[in-house]
Amino acid sequence: MMNKTTLTLLGSLSASALFAAEQTIDLSVPTMNCPVCPITVRKALEKVPGVSNVAVDFAFRCATVAFEDTVATSARLTRATAEAGYPSALNGDAR
């Protein structure tokens, strides 16, 4: 038999899962200027909690990031790239 604390915890976890949504955004990363840069950008983005997938395109100097919106934000993603030495900006709307 579950105690009241366990039931409350399970209820709150279920509620947050119901409101969570995966979003995908495109970030412009114009300062990527060598073939190694995308690796650094990808690793920085993958370290952000809530990120589920990262694809970096060196030719177009952009990164596509899928993330859970209740855990990560576009501001946190752009901060992660900037802290890695590659400032980025949101490129279009979240999907």
- What domains does the chain contain, in order, with CATH numbers? 20-90 (3.30.70.100)
Contact (Cβ atoms closer than 8 angstroms) between residue 95 and residue 47: no
Distances (CA, A) of 40 to 1, 44, 55, 70, 88: 48, 6, 12, 25, 13
Average pLDDT, the chain: 85
Q: Indicate whether 7 pLDDT > 50.
A: no
Q: How many CA atoms lie within 13 A of 7 on its CB side?
A: 4
pLDDT interval class at 18 (50, 70, 90): low
Q: What is the pLDDT of residue 74?
A: 95
What pLDDT was estimated at residue 1? 47
Single pTM value for the model = 0.76
What pLDDT shows up at residue 91? 87
- 3-state helix, strand and coil shares in percent for the chain, rounded to the nearest 5: 40, 25, 40
Q: pLDDT tens for residues 38-69?
A: 999 999 999 999 999 999 999 999 999 999 99
- What's the CA gap between 15 and 1, in Å, rounded? 21
